[in-house]
Structure 1
Amino acid sequence: MNVGEWAAVIGAAGSVLGGGGLFVSRATVRAAQATARANEAAAAIQAAPQVKAQEFAVLQATVQRVDEENGQLRGSLSRVEAVVRAFAWSTDRWLRQMHREGIEPEPAHPLVDEYNRTGV
Protein backbone atom coordinates (compact mmCIF):
# COMPACT_ATOMS: atom_id res chain seq x y z
CA MET A 1 0.00 0.00 0.00
CA ASN A 2 1.11 3.52 -0.63
CA VAL A 3 0.91 6.38 1.83
CA GLY A 4 -2.44 7.61 0.51
CA GLU A 5 -4.04 4.20 0.93
CA TRP A 6 -2.67 3.89 4.46
CA ALA A 7 -4.10 7.32 5.23
CA ALA A 8 -7.52 6.20 4.04
CA VAL A 9 -7.34 3.06 6.19
CA ILE A 10 -6.25 5.05 9.24
CA GLY A 11 -8.94 7.64 8.57
CA ALA A 12 -11.62 4.95 8.27
CA ALA A 13 -10.45 3.35 11.49
CA GLY A 14 -10.45 6.73 13.20
CA SER A 15 -13.98 7.48 12.07
CA VAL A 16 -15.15 4.17 13.48
CA LEU A 17 -13.43 4.87 16.80
CA GLY A 18 -14.58 8.43 17.19
CA GLY A 19 -15.23 11.83 15.62
CA GLY A 20 -11.56 12.91 15.68
CA GLY A 21 -10.70 10.28 13.07
CA LEU A 22 -11.92 12.45 10.21
CA PHE A 23 -9.51 15.21 11.21
CA VAL A 24 -6.62 12.74 11.49
CA SER A 25 -7.54 11.23 8.13
CA ARG A 26 -7.52 14.61 6.34
CA ALA A 27 -4.25 15.61 7.99
CA THR A 28 -2.67 12.30 7.02
CA VAL A 29 -3.82 12.63 3.40
CA ARG A 30 -2.43 16.17 3.24
CA ALA A 31 0.85 14.98 4.73
CA ALA A 32 0.99 12.16 2.17
CA GLN A 33 0.35 14.63 -0.66
CA ALA A 34 3.06 16.97 0.63
CA THR A 35 5.47 14.04 0.90
CA ALA A 36 4.67 12.98 -2.67
CA ARG A 37 5.31 16.52 -3.93
CA ALA A 38 8.59 16.64 -2.03
CA ASN A 39 9.63 13.27 -3.48
CA GLU A 40 8.82 14.49 -7.00
CA ALA A 41 10.85 17.65 -6.45
CA ALA A 42 13.79 15.62 -5.12
CA ALA A 43 13.63 13.30 -8.14
CA ALA A 44 13.63 16.32 -10.49
CA ILE A 45 16.66 17.78 -8.70
CA GLN A 46 18.51 14.47 -8.90
CA ALA A 47 17.70 14.15 -12.62
CA ALA A 48 18.88 17.71 -13.39
CA PRO A 49 22.60 16.81 -13.79
CA GLN A 50 21.71 14.02 -16.21
CA VAL A 51 19.56 16.40 -18.25
CA LYS A 52 22.40 18.95 -18.30
CA ALA A 53 24.85 16.23 -19.38
CA GLN A 54 22.55 15.20 -22.23
CA GLU A 55 22.12 18.81 -23.33
CA PHE A 56 25.91 19.28 -23.22
CA ALA A 57 26.43 16.13 -25.30
CA VAL A 58 24.00 17.44 -27.92
CA LEU A 59 25.78 20.80 -27.92
CA GLN A 60 29.18 19.12 -28.29
CA ALA A 61 27.97 17.01 -31.21
CA THR A 62 26.50 20.10 -32.88
CA VAL A 63 29.72 22.07 -32.47
CA GLN A 64 31.75 19.18 -33.88
CA ARG A 65 29.44 18.90 -36.91
CA VAL A 66 29.58 22.65 -37.54
CA ASP A 67 33.39 22.59 -37.24
CA GLU A 68 33.60 19.79 -39.81
CA GLU A 69 31.24 21.60 -42.19
CA ASN A 70 33.17 24.83 -41.69
CA GLY A 71 36.43 23.06 -42.54
CA GLN A 72 34.90 21.63 -45.70
CA LEU A 73 33.54 25.04 -46.73
CA ARG A 74 36.91 26.69 -46.09
CA GLY A 75 38.59 24.06 -48.25
CA SER A 76 36.08 24.61 -51.04
CA LEU A 77 36.43 28.39 -50.80
CA SER A 78 40.20 28.14 -50.89
CA ARG A 79 39.98 26.00 -54.03
CA VAL A 80 37.58 28.45 -55.73
CA GLU A 81 39.87 31.37 -54.87
CA ALA A 82 42.84 29.50 -56.36
CA VAL A 83 40.88 28.81 -59.56
CA VAL A 84 39.85 32.49 -59.82
CA ARG A 85 43.48 33.61 -59.37
CA ALA A 86 44.65 31.11 -61.99
CA PHE A 87 41.92 32.19 -64.41
CA ALA A 88 42.77 35.87 -63.84
CA TRP A 89 46.45 35.14 -64.49
CA SER A 90 45.59 33.22 -67.69
CA THR A 91 43.26 35.88 -69.06
CA ASP A 92 45.83 38.59 -68.29
CA ARG A 93 48.45 36.62 -70.24
CA TRP A 94 46.03 36.19 -73.17
CA LEU A 95 45.17 39.89 -73.03
CA ARG A 96 48.89 40.81 -73.30
CA GLN A 97 49.29 38.42 -76.24
CA MET A 98 46.36 40.06 -78.03
CA HIS A 99 47.82 43.54 -77.46
CA ARG A 100 51.19 42.42 -78.87
CA GLU A 101 49.42 41.17 -82.01
CA GLY A 102 47.45 44.42 -82.35
CA ILE A 103 44.08 42.89 -81.46
CA GLU A 104 41.89 45.06 -79.25
CA PRO A 105 39.81 42.84 -76.90
CA GLU A 106 36.34 43.70 -75.72
CA PRO A 107 36.20 45.47 -72.37
CA ALA A 108 36.18 43.22 -69.32
CA HIS A 109 33.14 42.79 -67.10
CA PRO A 110 33.05 45.33 -64.23
CA LEU A 111 33.52 42.56 -61.67
CA VAL A 112 36.68 41.46 -63.46
CA ASP A 113 37.99 45.04 -63.39
CA GLU A 114 37.21 45.22 -59.68
CA TYR A 115 39.03 41.94 -59.06
CA ASN A 116 42.03 43.13 -61.07
CA ARG A 117 42.14 46.36 -59.01
CA THR A 118 41.54 44.91 -55.56
CA GLY A 119 42.42 41.21 -55.79
CA VAL A 120 39.14 40.37 -54.11
Structure 2
Amino acid sequence: MGIAGAAVSLMGVVVTGWFTYRGTRTAAAIAARPTAEQNQFTVLQATVNRVDRENTELRTRQSRLESLVRACTWTMDRWARQMYDNGIEPAPPHPLVEEHNRTGV
Protein backbone atom coordinates (compact mmCIF):
# COMPACT_ATOMS: atom_id res chain seq x y z
CA MET A 1 0.00 0.00 0.00
CA GLY A 2 2.88 2.35 0.74
CA ILE A 3 4.34 2.02 -2.77
CA ALA A 4 0.94 2.50 -4.42
CA GLY A 5 0.30 5.59 -2.30
CA ALA A 6 3.72 6.99 -3.18
CA ALA A 7 3.05 6.34 -6.89
CA VAL A 8 -0.33 8.10 -6.72
CA SER A 9 1.24 11.00 -4.83
CA LEU A 10 4.02 11.24 -7.40
CA MET A 11 1.49 11.13 -10.23
CA GLY A 12 -0.51 13.87 -8.46
CA VAL A 13 2.57 16.05 -8.13
CA VAL A 14 3.41 15.60 -11.84
CA VAL A 15 -0.15 16.38 -12.95
CA THR A 16 -0.36 19.37 -10.61
CA GLY A 17 2.99 20.63 -11.89
CA TRP A 18 1.83 20.23 -15.49
CA PHE A 19 -1.39 22.18 -14.84
CA THR A 20 0.54 24.85 -12.95
CA TYR A 21 2.99 25.17 -15.86
CA ARG A 22 0.15 25.46 -18.38
CA GLY A 23 -1.72 28.00 -16.24
CA THR A 24 1.38 30.11 -15.67
CA ARG A 25 2.25 30.07 -19.36
CA THR A 26 -1.32 31.01 -20.35
CA ALA A 27 -1.46 33.77 -17.73
CA ALA A 28 1.83 35.19 -19.00
CA ALA A 29 0.54 35.18 -22.57
CA ILE A 30 -2.66 36.93 -21.48
CA ALA A 31 -0.70 39.49 -19.50
CA ALA A 32 1.68 40.13 -22.42
CA ARG A 33 -1.12 40.69 -24.94
CA PRO A 34 -2.29 44.08 -23.57
CA THR A 35 1.33 45.24 -23.37
CA ALA A 36 1.88 44.36 -27.03
CA GLU A 37 -1.39 46.04 -27.97
CA GLN A 38 -0.42 49.09 -25.90
CA ASN A 39 2.93 49.27 -27.72
CA GLN A 40 1.13 49.09 -31.08
CA PHE A 41 -1.30 51.79 -29.94
CA THR A 42 1.58 54.00 -28.80
CA VAL A 43 3.25 53.69 -32.21
CA LEU A 44 -0.05 54.38 -33.97
CA GLN A 45 -0.74 57.41 -31.77
CA ALA A 46 2.74 58.81 -32.45
CA THR A 47 2.19 58.34 -36.19
CA VAL A 48 -1.19 60.07 -36.06
CA ASN A 49 0.29 62.99 -34.11
CA ARG A 50 3.13 63.34 -36.63
CA VAL A 51 0.75 63.25 -39.60
CA ASP A 52 -1.55 65.82 -37.94
CA ARG A 53 1.41 68.11 -37.31
CA GLU A 54 2.62 67.73 -40.92
CA ASN A 55 -0.89 68.36 -42.28
CA THR A 56 -1.19 71.51 -40.19
CA GLU A 57 2.16 72.75 -41.49
CA LEU A 58 1.18 71.95 -45.09
CA ARG A 59 -2.19 73.69 -44.74
CA THR A 60 -0.46 76.76 -43.34
CA ARG A 61 2.04 76.80 -46.21
CA GLN A 62 -0.72 76.24 -48.78
CA SER A 63 -2.81 79.06 -47.34
CA ARG A 64 0.19 81.38 -47.38
CA LEU A 65 0.99 80.41 -50.98
CA GLU A 66 -2.61 81.02 -52.06
CA SER A 67 -2.48 84.47 -50.45
CA LEU A 68 0.77 85.21 -52.25
CA VAL A 69 -0.67 84.12 -55.61
CA ARG A 70 -3.74 86.35 -55.06
CA ALA A 71 -1.49 89.29 -54.19
CA CYS A 72 0.70 88.70 -57.26
CA THR A 73 -2.39 88.41 -59.47
CA TRP A 74 -3.81 91.64 -58.08
CA THR A 75 -0.47 93.40 -58.64
CA MET A 76 -0.09 92.10 -62.20
CA ASP A 77 -3.68 93.09 -63.00
CA ARG A 78 -2.98 96.61 -61.74
CA TRP A 79 0.17 96.78 -63.88
CA ALA A 80 -1.70 95.51 -66.96
CA ARG A 81 -4.40 98.20 -66.46
CA GLN A 82 -1.71 100.85 -66.17
CA MET A 83 -0.15 99.60 -69.41
CA TYR A 84 -3.54 99.63 -71.20
CA ASP A 85 -4.25 103.12 -69.89
CA ASN A 86 -0.94 104.29 -71.40
CA GLY A 87 -1.50 102.56 -74.74
CA ILE A 88 0.98 99.73 -74.13
CA GLU A 89 -0.12 96.22 -75.03
CA PRO A 90 1.19 93.78 -72.38
CA ALA A 91 2.64 90.41 -73.37
CA PRO A 92 0.08 87.61 -73.51
CA PRO A 93 -0.25 85.59 -70.30
CA HIS A 94 1.09 82.08 -69.87
CA PRO A 95 -1.36 79.35 -71.04
CA LEU A 96 -1.84 78.18 -67.45
CA VAL A 97 -2.84 81.71 -66.46
CA GLU A 98 -5.32 81.88 -69.35
CA GLU A 99 -6.77 78.51 -68.33
CA HIS A 100 -7.13 79.67 -64.73
CA ASN A 101 -8.79 82.91 -65.82
CA ARG A 102 -11.17 80.96 -68.05
CA THR A 103 -12.05 78.09 -65.67
CA GLY A 104 -11.19 79.42 -62.21
CA VAL A 105 -9.24 76.25 -61.48
Q: Which amino acid aligns with 1:60?
A: Q
1:53 aligns with 2:29: no
1:96 aligns with 2:81: yes
Which aligned segments of 4 or more residues in structure 1 are displaced greater than 4 angstroms? Answer: 30-38
Name 1:12's counterpart in structure 2: none
Q: 1:39 aligns with which of 14, 24, 36?
A: 24
Q: 2:94 aligns with which of 109, 113, 117?
A: 109
How far the C-alpha of 1:103 sits from its partner, in A, is 0.7
How far the C-alpha of 1:35 sits from its partner, in A, is 5.8
Q: CA RMSD in A?
A: 2.4
User: What is the distance in 2 between the residues matched to 1:40 and 1:118?
Assistant: 68
Aligned residues: 96
Higher RCO, 1 or 2 (CA under 8 Å, sep at least 6)?
Answer: 1
TM-score by length of 1: 0.66
The answer for unaligned runs of 5 or more in structure 1 is 1-16
